[in-house]
Chains A and B, each alone.
Chain A
Amino acid sequence: GEDVEQSLFLSVREGDSSVINCTYTDSSSTYLYWYKQEPGAGLQLLTYIFSNMDMKQDQRLTVLLNKKDKHLSLRIADTQTGDSAIYFCAESPGYSTLTFGKGTMLLVSP
Chain B
Amino acid sequence: EPEVTQTPSHQVTQMGQEVILRCVPISNHLYFYWYRQILGQKVEFLVSFYNNEISEKSEIFDDQFSVERPDGSNFTLKIRSTKLEDSAMYFCASTPQGGPLGDTQYFGPGTRLTVL
Contacts and interface: CB of A to CB of B under 8 A. Distances in A.
B51 interface: no
Contacts of A97: 33, 45, 48, 56, 58
Contact of B43 (A41, A88, A92): A88
A100 interface: yes
Interface residues of B, number: 22
Contacts, number: 52
A94 B103 contact: yes
B42 A102 contact: yes
A31 B104 CA distance: 8
Contacts of A92: 103, 105
Contact of B106 (A45, A94, A99): A45
Q: Binding site of B, secondary structure by majority: helix, strand, loop or mixed?
A: strand
B103 A95 contact: yes
B25 interface: no
A44 B45 CA distance: 17
B109 interface: yes
User: Looking at chain A, what size class is its interface with the partner chain?
Assistant: 20 to 34
Given A33-B104, A97-B33, A97-B58, 13 more contacts: A31-B103, A41-B109, A42-B6, A42-B110, A45-B104, A45-B105, A48-B101, A94-B103, A96-B48, A96-B56, A97-B45, A97-B48, A102-B42
Interface of B: 6, 33, 35, 41-45, 48, 56, 58, 91, 93, 101, 103-110
The list of the 3 closest CB pairs from A to B, nearest first, reads A42-B109, A43-B107, A100-B43
22 contacts: A30-B103, A33-B104, A35-B107, A42-B107, A42-B108, A43-B91, A44-B107, A45-B104, A45-B105, A45-B106, A88-B43, A92-B103, A94-B103, A95-B103, A96-B48, A96-B56, A98-B35, A99-B45, A100-B44, A101-B42, A103-B42, A103-B43
